[in-house]
């Protein structure tokens, strides 16, 4: 018999066996399949239910954890915890510090809670917190600088020169006025700052005949001072702030005819010569017009700085003071800044109002500034507004 015929006989035999299979066996087999399917369904639903239960438990636990982390760690605590927040700390870093000091339950929750609520602008310093404080209370303290211990806040007014700043620092900190001025003359300290802030201080490093190399670079603002802070750290705050402010202006300065040092120098004059934004922009252009015409700027601010005095009236004798800062006798902007200008004054120098004026006179009683194109017009304005 051939293999093909034998195969056909085997298939016929198998079909016959299936056809002749006991009906009871077929029924049992179907029943077993149903039972297996039922068991599989139970297992699947059991797994799904278990996952749901685990998810619910995890969700509830996470909710309770977040809720408890937002609330005070210990509502009835009367403990006080001294906490130091370093300069430049992010929300994440602050959260980690507060968690390590057992002020809050979770630094991670603190970080995301502050992000969710758009809370930022926290101030560095030394604080006294309590585990009874909520995250909102802690955030409020950090923003306002409240609850700080043994901390001074030093306000540097716009237009203050280094000697005026030194006097304020001497009154408000443990450092003396002389110590501050000595540091301003320390070339090694300047070199360290120059290395940290090259974009800001490159031009100052090359300046000649300056009285203080950092004049103009101590930004007028309010600074936090802690007892463990060195004088160098305090000054670096001021220089670092100037660099931060100028980050938005470095491109403008690069596109202008001025370098950073010259920009701050003109701004230091504009700061005190004009009060309003428009006057400052007009005055800046007057200075540029005079410089282009090779005329001395003739700013009284330069005479007072050259004299090292602060007085209301400048005399003809004062105009003869022998100093590179005397802009009645010297053409140009002088060796460097005459004070520490605000960002508004810097912006005025970089965005002056175009005009054809070469003179201006300010009525100190009203704050109004009057401009003239010619010397004759200028004298008429002086007679009209300044005779008294």
CATH number of the CATH domain containing 96: 3.30.1490.480
Question: Tens of pLDDT along 243-263?
Answer: 999 998 999 999 999 999 999
Please compute the mean of the pLDDT values over residues 92-116 and round it to a whole number. Answer: 90
**Three-class secondary structure assignment of 239-273:** HHHHHHHHCCCHHHHHHCCCCHHHHHHHHHHHHHH
Assess whether 264 and 297 both reside in one domain: yes
Question: Tens of pLDDT along 254-295?
Answer: 999 999 999 999 999 999 999 899 999 999 999 999 999 999
Residue 274 in domain: yes
Assess whether 98 and 206 both reside in one domain: no
What pLDDT is stored for residue 1 in this prediction? 47
What pLDDT is stored for residue 311 in this prediction? 84
Assess whether 251 and 139 both reside in one domain: no
Q: Which tops the pLDDT comparison, 366 or 169?
A: 169
DSSP code per residue over 287-337: HHHHHHTT-----HHHHHHHHT---S---TTGGG---TT-TTTS-SS-SS-
Query: Could you tell me if 80 and 128 are in contact, meaning their C-beta atoms sit under 8 angstroms apart?
Result: yes
Which residues make Cβ contacts (< 8 Å) with residue 139, sequence separation at least 6?
114, 117, 119, 122
Please compute the mean of the pLDDT values over residues 4-12 and round it to a whole number. Answer: 50
- Does pLDDT of 146 surpass 90? no
What pLDDT is stored for residue 386 in this prediction? 76
Query: Could you tell me if 203 and 323 are in contact, meaning their C-beta atoms sit under 8 angstroms apart?
Result: no
Assess whether 250 and 228 both reside in one domain: yes
DSSP state of 184: H
Assess whether 267 and 325 both reside in one domain: yes
The residue segments making up the domain with residue 65 are: 22-70
Predicted TM-score of the model (pTM): 0.64
**Three-class secondary structure assignment of 110-169:** HHHHHHHCCCCCCCCEEEEECCCCCHHHHHHHHHHCCCECCCEEEECCCCCCHHHHHHHH
Count of the separate structural domains present in the chain: 3
Of the residues 96, 123, 144, the one at which a domain ends: 144
Question: Tens of pLDDT along 44-77?
Answer: 676 777 778 766 676 655 555 556 657 888 887 8
Residue 282 in domain: yes
Assess whether 198 and 107 both reside in one domain: no
Assess whether 61 and 89 both reside in one domain: no
Residue 205 in domain: yes
What pLDDT is stored for residue 145 in this prediction? 72
Assess whether 105 and 57 both reside in one domain: no
Please compute the mean of the pLDDT values over residues 3-20 and round it to a whole number. Answer: 50
Assess whether 90 and 65 both reside in one domain: no
Q: How far is CA 36 from CA 40, 45, 50, 190, 196, in A?
A: 6, 14, 21, 84, 75
What pLDDT is stored for residue 258 in this prediction? 97
- Does pLDDT of 349 surpass 90? yes
Please tell me whether residue 205 adopts helix, strand or coil conformation: helix
In this prediction, what percent of the chain has a pLDDT beyond 70?
Answer: 83
Assess whether 167 and 138 both reside in one domain: no
DSSP state of 32: H
Torsion angles phi and psi, residue 229, rounded to 5? -85, 135
Residue 296 in domain: yes
Average pLDDT of the chain to the nearest whole number: 85
Assess whether 140 and 162 both reside in one domain: no
Of the residues 144, 166, 193, the one at which a domain ends: 144
Assess whether 240 and 296 both reside in one domain: yes
Q: Cα(250)–Cα(246) distance, rounded to whole angstroms?
A: 6
Residue 8 in domain: no
């Amino acid at each position: 018999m051939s293999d093909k015929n034998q195969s056909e006989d085997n298939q016929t035999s198998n079909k016959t066996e299936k056809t002749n299979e006991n009906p009871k066996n077929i029924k049992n087999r179907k029943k077993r399949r149903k039972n297996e399917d039922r068991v599989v369904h139970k297992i699947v639903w059991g797994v799904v239910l278990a996952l749901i239960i685990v998810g619910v438990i995890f969700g509830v636990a996470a909710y309770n954890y977040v809720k408890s982390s937002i609330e005070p760690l210990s509502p009835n605590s009367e403990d006080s915890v001294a906490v130091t927040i370093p300069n430049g700390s992010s929300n994440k870093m602050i959260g980690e510090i507060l968690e390590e000091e057992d002020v809050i339950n979770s630094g991670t929750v603190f970080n995301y809670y502050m992000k969710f609520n758009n809370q930022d602008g926290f101030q560095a310093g030394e604080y006294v917190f309590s585990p009874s404080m909520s995250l909102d209370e802690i955030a409020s303290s950090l923003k306002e600088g409240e609850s700080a211990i043994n901390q001074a806040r030093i306000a540097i007014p716009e237009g203050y020169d280094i000697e005026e700043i030194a006097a304020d620092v001497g009154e408000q900190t443990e450092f003396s006025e002389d110590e501050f001025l000595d540091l301003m003359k320390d070339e090694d300290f300047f070199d360290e700052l120059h290395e940290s802030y090259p974009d800001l201080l490159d031009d100052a490093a090359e300046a000649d005949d300056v009285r203080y190399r950092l004049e103009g670079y101590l930004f007028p603002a309010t600074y936090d001072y802690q007892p463990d802070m060195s004088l160098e750290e305090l000054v670096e705050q001021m220089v670092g702030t100037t660099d931060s402010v100028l980050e938005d202006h470095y491109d403008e300065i690069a596109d202008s005819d001025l370098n950073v040092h010259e920009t701050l120098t003109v701004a230091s004059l504009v700061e005190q010569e004009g009060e309003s934004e428009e006057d400052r922009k007009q005055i800046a252009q007057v200075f540029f017009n005079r410089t282009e015409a090779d005329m001395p700027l003739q700013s009284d601010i330069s005479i007072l700085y050259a004299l090292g005095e602060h007085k209301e009236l400048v005399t003809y004798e004062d105009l003869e003071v022998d100093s590179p800062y005397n802009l009645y006798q010297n053409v140009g902007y002088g060796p460097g800044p005459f004070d520490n200008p605000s960002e508004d004054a810097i912006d005025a120098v970089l965005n002056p109002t175009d005009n054809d004026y070469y003179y201006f006179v300010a009525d100190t009683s009203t704050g109004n500034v009057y401009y003239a194109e010619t010397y004759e017009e200028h004298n008429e304005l002086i007679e009209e507004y300044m005779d008294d």
